[in-house]
């Protein structure tokens, strides 16, 4: 077994790569000191000294004074196994509390704010990165293409290539009708807001995207404010509202 394999095995129980390297080097030297280990490992003596002291604190080395020299004696490799057992036991003892904390953390919404086109790009990138099977959107396709013609077109091509289905509720316009006709081949379904309701609502100044455990909102104000909310409960609320609206439309 080569030294790199041994080093990787030592990293697993919690040693850094340098700590593993120094520990292995001290096993090969009869009387390891910071000076001779430095020569073997080609690391500065001050660095070696600090790492050796860290290994002493971790119980993987002992110190023996020999005249004016301090010899750092590596503990038996079986000490690593015992250390790992103790760590595992310590974690098992608090596993219930850790799981409770994890549940609390997962239920907290994560909210990220952005401004400008970079925020919009971040949302589209986020949608593609999560590789969701379906994207739901309250959105004006015409306004999206008008605001970001090149980027949104590129996003659509990538979404289609990755076979991410999209269902969109949008005001009716020529661009929306064109995309609706090509919907089946482009993994997209569009339903339009009735004209009477669209006139009553006026210009919709933003977009809402629902994907996975995320809800993303884009505002068409001067700063183009964008928000991504990551929370399963909130995304389910928005998904339910979307489904209610979707089923009510022709």
Instruction: Based on the fold, state whether residues 17 and 112 are members of the same structural domain.
Output: no
Instruction: Based on the fold, state whether residues 144 and 50 are members of the same structural domain.
Output: no
Instruction: Based on the fold, state whether residues 127 and 194 are members of the same structural domain.
Output: yes
pLDDT of residue 120: 82
Is the distance from CB of 55 to CB of 18 less than 8 angstroms?
no
Neighbours of 197 (CB within 10 A): 11
Instruction: Based on the fold, state whether residues 189 and 231 are members of the same structural domain.
Output: yes
Instruction: Based on the fold, state whether residues 69 and 122 are members of the same structural domain.
Output: no
Instruction: Based on the fold, state whether residues 119 and 60 are members of the same structural domain.
Output: no
| 148 belongs to a structural domain | yes
**Rounded (5°) CA angle 204-208-214:** 170
- Report the alpha-carbon distance of residue 52 to residue 60 in Å, rounded: 9
| 181 belongs to a structural domain | yes
pLDDT of residue 78: 78
| 114 belongs to a structural domain | yes
Instruction: Based on the fold, state whether residues 73 and 131 are members of the same structural domain.
Output: no
State the CATH number of the domain containing residue 43: 1.10.10.10
Q: Which residues of the chain have pLDDT under 50?
A: none
pLDDT (tens digit per residue) in 100-144:
766 665 567 788 888 887 788 888 888 888 666 799 999 887 777
State the CATH number of the domain containing residue 187: 3.30.870.10
Instruction: Based on the fold, state whether residues 121 and 64 are members of the same structural domain.
Output: no
Instruction: Based on the fold, state whether residues 12 and 78 are members of the same structural domain.
Output: yes
Instruction: Based on the fold, state whether residues 116 and 210 are members of the same structural domain.
Output: yes
Instruction: Based on the fold, state whether residues 37 and 114 are members of the same structural domain.
Output: no
Per-residue burial over 222-234, b = 16 or more CB atoms within 10 Å of its CB, e = otherwise? eebbbebbbbeeb
| 90 belongs to a structural domain | no
Instruction: Based on the fold, state whether residues 80 and 184 are members of the same structural domain.
Output: no
- Report the alpha-carbon distance of residue 38 to residue 153 in Å, rounded: 58
pLDDT of residue 106: 59
Q: Which domain, by its residues, includes 35?
A: 3-84
Which of 21, 50, 241, 19 has the alpha carbon at shortest distance from 136? Answer: 241
Task: Give the chain's domain count.
Answer: 2
The domain boundary residue, chosen from 51, 84, 117:
84
């Amino acid at each position: 077994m080569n030294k790199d394999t041994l080093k990787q095995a030592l990293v697993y129980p919690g040693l850094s790569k340098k700590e593993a390297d120094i520990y292995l080097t001290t096993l090969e030297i009869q009387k390891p000191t910071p000076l001779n280990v430095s020569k073997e490992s080609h690391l500065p003596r001050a660095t070696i000294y600090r790492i050796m002291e860290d290994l002493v604190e971790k119980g993987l080395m002992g110190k023996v004074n020999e005249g004016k020299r301090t010899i750092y004696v590596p503990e038996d490799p079986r000490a690593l196994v015992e250390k790992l057992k103790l760590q595992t036991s310590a974690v098992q003892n608090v596993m219930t509390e850790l799981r409770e904390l994890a549940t609390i953390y997962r239920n907290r919404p994560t909210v990220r704010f952005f401004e400008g086109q970079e925020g919009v790009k971040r949302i589209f990138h986020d949608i593609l990165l999560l590789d969701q099977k379906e994207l739901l959107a309250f959105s004006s396709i015409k306004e999206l293409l008008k605001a970001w013609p090149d980027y949104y077109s590129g996003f659509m091509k990538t979404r289609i290539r990755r076979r991410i289905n999209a269902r969109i509720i949008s005001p009716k316009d020529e661009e929306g009708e064109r995309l609706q006709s090509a919907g089946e081949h482009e993994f997209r379904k569009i339903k339009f807001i009735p004209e009477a309701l669209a006139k009553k609502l006026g210009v919709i100044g933003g977009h809402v995207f629902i994907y996975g455990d995320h809800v993303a909102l884009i505002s068409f104000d001067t700063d183009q404010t964008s928000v991504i909310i990551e929370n399963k409960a909130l995304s389910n609320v928005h998904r339910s509202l979307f489904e209610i609206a979707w089923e009510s439309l022709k």
